[in-house]
């Protein structure tokens, strides 16, 4: 984590005096944005704040540090970067999750109450889950991405990571001018519990935590219903095509000229994406748009307000591990697993929240709430009930 000196007098506002860390994918005036990569080792200082950082300062927040990121945000583990891996405060031999690795770790370690991250497929919610903090991916377009280095312009979101629901709610309200009240009642909220095999988790502790979260919502007056999301596998299959094609377009010149400056894992993913064709990309985007409309219409027709599920199917894995034996006895590929339960909501554009699970032995886990309707208010109000147990 790179500590910064905040110039000028403290500003009044809803975040007055709150120390905030910013992922090193997001511009902070006077500080280089290196994106966790040797490719940008000689990057000049940013000339101005990213739009979301400017809003933070206007609300009175104090930017105190830039934080570790998985290289160019192209990975969910947080252990691939020029600076080396980010380490989970709960077990330094395990990953934080990524790509907003340092932001989650800084909040979990008690260094700051709030941090900015990004979220293209999981990058705020997965590290929030693995580090035991709150992570919000707002609805698409809710927070501006101007001044944020792109991974996939179609799917990139700015995310918030905080020590608790109230901190994230206050920050989101300050950044958008939309008042969020997590204490608002959720009686009669229709909560969909997906039953498709796609949403399977590999850790019985996580499955039990989801059940406890469902009970907490039911006790608060919510109505639980089992739901299916037909086409979810087809929707998820568009993700690597869209992200791969857009990321390769951003990096193709550097990749051709300076491939050795990338971490090997990042270079391999970008080089593989070079094989994608224009037809692949256009087909994936058309499929995404069609299934977004179909799934949204289906959930609305069934009267569903929010979905309840796990954030990740696994808890934090050892640094560098790309396959693990899961508690359910299956051999699991770590990278796709850490993306699987979160990426649909980037494709759909719905807001989604990860809140720490209660009563989980050992490493943290996350419970995810995604809003079909009701926006960030709906997910934060539901998340508050889950956090209260």
Helix (H, G, I), strand (E, B) or coil at 369: strand
- For the four alpha carbons of 312, 318, 320 and 322, in that order, the dihedral sign comes to negative
- The predicted pLDDT at position 4 comes to 74
Cα separation, 166 vs 15, in Å, equals: 12
Give the other-Cβ count within 10 Å of 215's Cβ.
Answer: 13
Instruction: Exactly one of 37, 66, 99, 173 is catalytic; name it.
Output: 99
Q: Is 130 exposed, middle or buried (0-12, 13-18, 19+ CB in 10 A)?
A: buried
Q: What is the DSSP letter of 191?
A: E
From 3.90.1300.10, 1.10.287.70, 3.40.1830.10, 3.40.640.10, which CATH number describes the 2-233+278-388 domain? 3.90.1300.10
Q: Is 268 exposed, middle or buried (0-12, 13-18, 19+ CB in 10 A)?
A: exposed
- The predicted pLDDT at position 5 comes to 56
- The predicted pLDDT at position 9 comes to 52
- pTM for this model (two decimals): 0.96
Helix (H, G, I), strand (E, B) or coil at 271: helix
Rg of the chain in Å (alpha carbons) = 19
E strands of 72-126, at which residues? 114-119
Instruction: Respond yes or no: is residue 99 known to be catalytic.
Output: yes
Cα separation, 276 vs 131, in Å, equals: 34
Instruction: Respond yes or no: is residue 123 known to be catalytic.
Output: yes
The pLDDT tens digits for 140-174 are: 999 999 999 999 999 999 999 999 999 999 999 99
Cα separation, 184 vs 144, in Å, equals: 26
- The predicted pLDDT at position 54 comes to 98
Of 199, 146, 218, the closest CA to residue 370 belongs to 199
Cα separation, 166 vs 381, in Å, equals: 10
Of 32, 125, 130, the closest CA to residue 90 belongs to 130
Q: Are 306 and 191 in contact (CB under 8 A)?
A: yes
The pLDDT tens digits for 35-61 are: 999 999 999 999 999 999 999 999 999
Instruction: Exactly one of 37, 101, 103, 123 is catalytic; name it.
Output: 123
- Residues of the chain whose pLDDT is less than 50? none
Give the other-Cβ count within 10 Å of 123's Cβ.
Answer: 36
Cα separation, 301 vs 312, in Å, equals: 27
Q: Are 159 and 118 in contact (CB under 8 A)?
A: yes
- The predicted pLDDT at position 381 comes to 98
- The predicted pLDDT at position 105 comes to 98
Helix (H, G, I), strand (E, B) or coil at 20: strand
Q: What is the phi/psi pair of residue 30, to 5°?
A: 85, 0
Q: What is the phi/psi pair of residue 94, to 5°?
A: -120, 160
Cα separation, 77 vs 96, in Å, equals: 7
Instruction: Exactly one of 23, 103, 173, 340 is catalytic; name it.
Output: 23
Q: Are 33 and 43 in contact (CB under 8 A)?
A: yes
In sequence order, the 6+-apart residues with CB closer than 8 A to the CB of 279 are none
């Amino acid at each position: 984590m790179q500590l910064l000196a905040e110039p000028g007098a403290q500003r009044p506002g809803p975040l007055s005096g709150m120390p905030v860390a910013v992922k090193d994918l997001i511009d902070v005036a006077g500080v280089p944005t290196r994106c966790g990569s040797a490719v940008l080792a000689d990057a000049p200082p940013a000339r101005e704040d990213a739009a979301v950082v400017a809003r933070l300062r206007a609300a009175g927040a104090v930017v105190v540090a830039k934080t570790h990121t998985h290289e160019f945000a192209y990975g969910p583990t947080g252990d691939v970067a020029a600076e080396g891996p980010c380490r989970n405060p709960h077990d330094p031999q395990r990953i934080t999750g990524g790509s907003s690795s340092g932001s989650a770790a800084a909040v979990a370690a008690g260094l700051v109450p709030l941090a900015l991250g990004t979220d293209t497929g999981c990058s705020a919610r997965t590290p929030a889950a693995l580090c035991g903090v709150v992570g919000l991916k707002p609805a698409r377009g809710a927070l501006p991405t101007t001044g944020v280095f792109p991974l996939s312009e179609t799917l990139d979101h700015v995310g918030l990571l905080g020590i608790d629901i109230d901190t994230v709610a206050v920050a989101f309200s300050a950044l958008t001018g939309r008042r969020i009240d997590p204490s608002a009642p959720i009686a009669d909220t229709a909560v969909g519990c997906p039953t498709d095999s796609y949403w399977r988790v590999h850790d019985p502790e996580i499955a039990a935590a989801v059940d406890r979260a469902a009970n907490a919502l039911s006790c608060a007056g919510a109505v639980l219903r089992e739901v299916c999301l037909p086409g979810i596998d087809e929707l998820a299959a568009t993700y690597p095509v869209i992200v791969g094609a857009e990321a390769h377009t951003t990096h193709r010149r550097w990749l051709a000229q300076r491939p050795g400056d990338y971490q090997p894992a990042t270079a391999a993913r970008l080089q593989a994406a070079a094989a994608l064709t224009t037809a692949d990309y256009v087909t994936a985007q058309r499929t995404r748009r069609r299934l977004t409309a179909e799934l949204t219409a289906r959930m609305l027709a069934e009267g569903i307000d929010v979905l309840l599920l796990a954030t990740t199917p696994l808890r934090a894995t050892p640094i560098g591990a790309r396959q693990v034996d899961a508690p359910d006895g299956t051999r699991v590929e770590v990278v796709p697993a850490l993306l699987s339960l979160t990426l649909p909501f980037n494709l759909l554009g719905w807001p989604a929240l990860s809140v720490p699970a209660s009563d989980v032995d050992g490493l943290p886990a996350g419970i995810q709430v995604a809003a079909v309707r009701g926006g960030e208010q709906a997910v934060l109000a539901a998340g508050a009930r889950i956090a209260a147990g």
